[in-house]
Amino acid sequence: MLVERAAPGGQAGQSSRIENYLGFPNGLSGADLARRAHDQASRFGAELLTVQEVTGLEARGPQRVVTLAGGAELAGHSVLVATGVAYRRLDAPGVAELEGRGVYYGASLVEAEACKDQTVAVVGGANSAGSRPCGSTARKARSGSRRPRCSSSSAPRRTPTGSASA
């Protein structure tokens, strides 16, 4: 039994393009990868509950009982919790309409190619705003952060020879 709080496939399922997944030399969309994973899991007998939220977990003797938001319960001998990650969306007018069409929540090689030779603005919190501006293929990268400055823990340091190290 797989309980999925949001869309199937999690973060990968929401990706516009995945280029580095083993067995797909031409890449594929996240939605296509999620659909294929769903089909394969179903073929092997997995039951998938989508758009369900887990609100509780308790031990009842040898059983582990998961409670869903609507009050339904699922019981089994073990529970695997895979909470994944979620991007914090930028709350600004017009952003939602441009996601995947100029606004990206990541800086993989796919996004880097889309931004190649263009001026980009990178917005993030803490160290993420300056960690990887579009794979450095952009003509200009302007970083902005919601904080006044990044922590020094991940900033490049100068060694005695003058080269940078992380």
Each residue of 97-153: pLDDT tens digit? Answer: 988 778 877 666 777 777 788 887 777 665 555 555 444 555 555 555 555 444 444
In the prediction, which pLDDT does 125 show? 61
Identify the H or E element spanning 142.
Answer: strand 140-145
CB 166 within 8 A of CB 153: no
Q: What is the pTM of this model?
A: 0.53
Strand partners of residue 58: 65
SS3 of 135, please? helix
Q: Which domains does the chain have, with CATH numbers?
A: 2-76 (3.50.50.60), 95-149 (no CATH)
Whether the CB-CB separation of 64 and 57 falls below 8 Å is answered with yes
- Per residue in 51-105, pLDDT tens? 889 999 999 999 999 999 999 999 999 998 888 776 777 888 998 898 877 887 7
The encoded tokens of residue 91 equal 């709350």
